[in-house]
Amino acid sequence: MPTLDELDNQLTVAASLLDAATVAIRECSLAPTREHFRRIGDALAKVYEIQHAIYEVRPDLKPGVLREPSEFAAANGRLTVALSTAYKCGEAGQYNEATRLLAEFIAAEPSDRHRAIAQMVLDRNTANDGT
């Protein structure tokens, strides 16, 4: 019978493979790129939900980065809101608005790391889909 430790390891590998698949989708230009990214994002969210359930039962398996509050917690929240809003605009065909929102986030965000992530998403969307 598998253990929770083994299941967590399998889910970590699955998440890594799904993440790598997004790179392959982008490099292969597999259309519709955004829809494929969304589906992989949905799958990753489900994997993380299962891992969260594991960590509720076995907190010792929770990675250190999830155990302690991050110095980037507030910036993570701001980035999540900005990316979510921009993706929703893109899905609604409001590409200029999505671009504007990301540019505003980049201009206002104090965290270099989070500005870089938003810039990467903006550059990727602009290169792939005209967003």
Q: How large a percentage of the chain has pLDDT more than 90?
A: 64
Q: State the pTM of this model.
A: 0.56
36-54 pLDDT per residue, tens: 998 998 999 999 999 999 9
Measure the CA–CA gap between 128 and 131, rounded to whole angstroms.
8
Domain ranges of the chain: 1-68, 69-131
What is the number of other CB atoms lying within 10 angstroms of the CB of residue 24? 10
Sign of CA dihedral 100, 42, 23, 76: positive
Position of tokens 């990753």? 44
52-97 pLDDT per residue, tens: 999 999 999 998 767 766 778 888 889 999 999 998 998 898 989 9
